[in-house]
């Protein structure tokens, strides 16, 4: 049953497996589902395992079932028609009775009547995608548009719910939210044993106790902790304004990831010059030299910026476009110092790589491996930060 729906889900990139499909079939055959709404929710609960795919599910559901909206009682029959032949001889007595309760002609008239009404409301494009051939109400052109069979017009029906696509915002392939960033950042870890010796080393204890002729000799060891330290340096200049939201999400994700040993954050305007800022609005600044002197070289360094500026802003003394900067050292030199100081540094660029053919972007790319600030880019950047040198 509905095998096409399975493939449609697959086509929509919802990761469904045969195991789950069989579970759905099992619950269908046990008769747990009595109407379309229940089918919608149940199939979703069984097949879809993340709200990130709810939207794709809605789209697939709409595409597959579009054109039918039914009240509870006759859904079974409608599904059967759509499914294939409602061969009465194969029906059980109970099912036949259900079928008989409905006057087929009347239903047909109702279909047509509603069909006319619906044409004006829906924009005609609704057609049944599914099985053809044997079914009386299949896609054979007989009922091409939205058919609504009776039912309670005020009620929320499965298709309507699906067509609202309320979970659009949860799509993981479109949005890069704090949560998914945190997941990507979770890989930034390096476990090593540090801190006080407060964990019982059972193996060692047994060993020592045995050597000690059964007299208990406890052996302790240090806990495994994440030793990764992170430094985030972010461009908050004017050209970054369109990406402000994205950047603040990255900041939140890093800041909220509790598993780092240390997290330091600085920002700059346009390019790194003599000073870095803890808070640029408040003018809370700190010398770039000071930062480099005081941070160990094992800080995993993430620079964020569009790397796009006038060439003289990058390579010249006093190149900073902000008058108060008055940089003695050209920006490119500062960037080189950073890339040479830290063993692991990457650059995240929120701009589409299509625009990276820009002189300053290419110059900075020679200093830092540059990744696009997307989930995939972040993933690759994290991998790069964890590579052993």
Partner 1 sequence: MSDTSFDQFRGSEDYVISLALKNAVNVTIALKRPLLVRGEPGTGKTLLAHSIAQGLDKRIIIWNIKSTTKAQEGLYIYDTVQRLNDSRFGDRDVSDIKQYIKLGKLGQAFVSEEQVVLLIDEIDKADIEFPNDLLNELDEMSFYIPETNETIAARYRPIVIITSNAEKELPDAFLRRCIFHYIDFPDPKLMEEIVRVHFPHIQDNLLREALKAFYALRGVEEFRKKPSTSELIDWIQALTLGGIPPARIASEVPFAGTLLKKEIDYDYFTNRRRGWSRARI
Instruction: List the structure tokens of 110.
Output: 């109702």
Return the residues of window 195-224 that contact partner 1 according to CB under 8 A. Answer: 202, 209, 214, 216
Please spell the DSSP secondary structure of 178-240, one letter per residue. HHHHHHHHTT---EEEEEEEEEE-HHHHHHHHHHTTT-----EEEEEEE--EEEEEEE-SGGG
User: Is residue 134 a contact residue for partner 1 (CB under 8 A)?
Assistant: no
CA proximity to 72, closest of 34, 41, 43, 40: 34
Rounded distance between C-alpha atoms, residue 272 and residue 286, angstroms: 12
* CB closer to partner 1 out of 185 and 361: 185
What one-character DSSP code corresponds to residue 56?
Answer: H
Strands 299-304 and 345-349: parallel
User: Is residue 46 a contact residue for partner 1 (CB under 8 A)?
Assistant: yes
Please, which residues have CB within 8 angstroms of residue 317's CB and are 6 or more apart in sequence? 327, 328, 329, 330
User: Is residue 50 a contact residue for partner 1 (CB under 8 A)?
Assistant: yes
Question: Binding string to partner 1 for residues 288 to 307, with x set by CB under 8 A, is what?
Answer: --------------------
Question: Binding string to partner 1 for residues 245 to 264, with x set by CB under 8 A, is what?
Answer: -------x------------
Question: Binding string to partner 1 for residues 139 to 178, with x set by CB under 8 A, is what?
Answer: ---------------------------xx--x-x------
Rounded distance between C-alpha atoms, residue 43 and residue 220, angstroms: 51
Q: How far is the CB of 150 from partner 1 (least distance, A)?
A: 20
* CB closer to partner 1 out of 46 and 348: 46
Question: Which of 51-59, 76-84, 293-301, 305-313 is the region at the interface with partner 1 (rule: CB under 8 A)?
Answer: 51-59
User: Is residue 379 a contact residue for partner 1 (CB under 8 A)?
Assistant: no
* CB closer to partner 1 out of 38 and 312: 38
User: Is residue 91 a contact residue for partner 1 (CB under 8 A)?
Assistant: no
CB 86 within 8 A of CB 26: no
- Token pair 């599914």 is found at 130
Question: Which of 28-36, 104-112, 226-234, 334-342 is the region at the interface with partner 1 (rule: CB under 8 A)?
Answer: 28-36
3-state secondary structure of 261: coil
* CB closer to partner 1 out of 206 and 362: 206
* C-alpha 95 chain-centroid distance: 44
Name the residues that contact partner 1, by CB under 8 A.
Answer: 15, 17, 19-20, 23, 26-27, 30-32, 34, 37-38, 41-42, 44-46, 48-52, 54, 166-167, 170, 172, 179-180, 182-183, 186, 202, 209, 214, 216, 252
């Amino acid at each position: 049953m509905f095998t096409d729906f399975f493939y449609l889900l697959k086509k929509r990139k919802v990761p469904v497996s045969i195991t789950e499909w069989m579970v759905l079939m099992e619950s269908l055959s046990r008769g747990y589902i009595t109407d379309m709404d229940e089918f919608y929710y149940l199939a979703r609960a069984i097949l879809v395992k993340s709200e990130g795919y709810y939207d794709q599910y809605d789209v697939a559901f709409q595409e597959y079932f579009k054109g039918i909206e039914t009240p509870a009682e006759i859904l079974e029959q409608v599904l059967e028609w759509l499914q294939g032949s409602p061969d009465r001889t194969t029906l059980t007595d109970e099912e036949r009775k259900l079928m008989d309760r409905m006057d087929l002609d009347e239903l047909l008239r109702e279909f047509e009547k509603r069909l006319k009404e619906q044409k004006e409301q829906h924009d005609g494009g609704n057609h049944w995608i599914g099985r053809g051939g044997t079914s009386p109400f299949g896609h054979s052109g007989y009922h091409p548009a939205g058919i609504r069979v009776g039912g309670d017009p005020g009620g929320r029906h499965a298709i309507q719910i699906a067509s609202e696509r309320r979970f659009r915002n949860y799509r993981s392939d479109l949005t890069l939210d704090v949560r998914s960033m945190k997941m990507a950042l979770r890989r930034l870890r390096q476990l090593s044993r540090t801190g006080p010796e407060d964990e019982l080393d059972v193996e060692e204890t047994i060993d020592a106790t045995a050597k000690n002729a059964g007299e208990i000799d406890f052996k302790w060891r240090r806990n495994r902790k994440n030793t990764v330290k992170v430094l985030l340096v972010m461009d908050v200049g004017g050209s970054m304004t369109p990406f402000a939201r994205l950047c603040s999400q990255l900041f939140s994700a890093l800041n909220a990831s509790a598993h780092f040993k240390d997290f330091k954050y600085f920002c700059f305007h346009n390019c790194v010059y003599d000073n870095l800022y803890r808070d640029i609005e408040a003018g809370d600044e700190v010398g770039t030299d000071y930062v480099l002197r005081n941070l160990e070289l094992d800080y995993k360094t993430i620079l964020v910026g569009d790397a796009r500026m006038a060439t003289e802003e990058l390579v010249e003394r006093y190149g900073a476009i902000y008058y108060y900067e008055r940089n003695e050292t050209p920006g490119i030199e500062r960037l080189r110092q950073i890339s040479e100081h830290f063993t692991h540094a990457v650059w995240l660029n929120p701009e589409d790589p299509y625009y990276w053919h820009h002189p300053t972007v290419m110059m900075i790319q020679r200093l830092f491996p540059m990744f696009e600030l997307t989930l995939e880019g972040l993933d690759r950047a994290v991998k790069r930060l964890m590579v052993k040198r």
